[in-house]
A = this chain, B = another copy of it.
Amino acid sequence: MPLVRIDALGADPGRLDALSRAVHEALVETLGIPDDDRFHILTGHDGAHGTLRYGDYLGIHRDEGIVYVVITMRSGRTPGQKQAMYRRIAELAHAYAGTDPRNVFVTVTENEPIDWSLGHGIAQYVTPPA
């Protein structure tokens, strides 16, 4: 169920794929989602049709290695789970894509079970159907 958007600079499909694997494995490990619960939108920005902007906010020096990870999921994860998730995303983004952890930016937006239809026009998390 988490829907993940990953935006990075450049147009290297291999790097986007590595980032996608890093985020997915981190979610499997720390949130306990199934391995086939992977829904990602990956975008590389090459400057011709868009780009990213970033600053050194909080004293963290970011550069063109910046990666934005935006996760939409149901509410209910604990603060500890989210913190473990952030830590593991940063670790695996480094391991798989060579991304420096200072460049890994993650934000989470939560919604409710009724807010998901994962195919067939059905709200699968709500039973019985209203």
Contact = CB atoms under 8 A, between A and B. Distances in A.
Copies in the complex: 3
A101 B115 contact: no
Given A79-B123, A109-B109, 6 more contacts: A3-B70, A41-B50, A45-B49, A57-B118, A104-B120, A105-B118
Given A104-B117, A108-B111, A111-B108, A86 B123 contact: yes
Contact of A3 (B36, B51, B107): B107
Contacts of A44: 49-50
B104 A115 contact: no
Contacts of A122: 83, 86-87
How many residues of A sit at the interface, in one of the four size bands?
35 or more
Contact of A13 (B47, B101, B103): B47
A20 B53 contact: yes
Interface centre among A43, A70, A126, by most chain B C-beta atoms within 10 angstroms, is: A43
Nearest 3 Cβ contacts at the A-B interface: A90-B121, A36-B55, A86-B117
A129 B80 CA distance: 8
A60 B109 contact: no
A119 B40 contact: no
